């Protein structure tokens, strides 16, 4: 049983984090969630708490039953940080070392592997600046799964669709197995 910090960002694909959390729980993992402020426009902390059975961190200043700063507690407990969906915003902030919410602070503070599952518009995904940030993060040991080509929220079909949840779970399992 591994402890996974599931980071949820402000993407239309955030609704899939509900099913993803359930799949990870069925595999026997403890799943805690850290949500960016924009994530709650798509899925509520109460929904994620109900699915995971764990309190959700959606603020640096609100989470009962922690000792010390919330982001440090989450970072220390996590054996893996999974950001799904990962927006261009969270990828670029991580690459730049920007820590302005509970999720970015936890990513910066953790010694655990970080796995990003990008989901965004195809124009955003193919942007050379974002591609540079992804390459930079990979060079620092961060991992990525997807995206894949598929239907996008903007009505286009292109690269930027969240990888199938089964692929994300398989990559989580591979990453955890590599730590043992």
**Residues designated catalytic:** 154
First to last CA, the chain: 12
Closest CA to 144 of 106, 105, 116: 116
Q: Confirm if 108 and 78 have CB atoms less than 8 A apart.
A: no
Give the span between the Cα atoms of 178 and 34, in whole angstroms. 24
Q: Return the closest-CA partner of residue 17 out of 30, 38, 39.
A: 39
């Amino acid at each position: 049983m591994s402890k996974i910090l599931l980071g949820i960002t402000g993407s239309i694909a955030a609704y899939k984090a509900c099913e993803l959390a359930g799949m990870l729980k069925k595999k026997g993992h403890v799943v805690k969630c850290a949500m960016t402020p924009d994530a709650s426009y798509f899925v509520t902390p109460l929904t994620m708490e109900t699915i995971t059975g764990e309190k959700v961190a959606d603020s640096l200043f609100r989470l009962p039953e922690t000792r010390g700063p919330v982001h440090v507690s989450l970072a220390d407990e996590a054996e893996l940080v999974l950001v799904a969906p990962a927006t261009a915003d969270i990828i670029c902030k991580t690459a730049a070392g920007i820590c302005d919410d509970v999720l970015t602070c936890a990513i910066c503070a953790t010694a655990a592997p970080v796995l990003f599952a990008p989901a965004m518009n195809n124009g955003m995904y193919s942007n050379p600046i974002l591609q540079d940030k992804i390459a930079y993060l990979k060079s620092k040991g961060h991992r990525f799964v997807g995206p894949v080509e598929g239907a996008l929220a903007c009505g286009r079909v292109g690269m930027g669709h969240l990888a199938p949840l089964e692929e994300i779970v398989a990559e989580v399992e591979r990453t955890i197995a590599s730590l043992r």
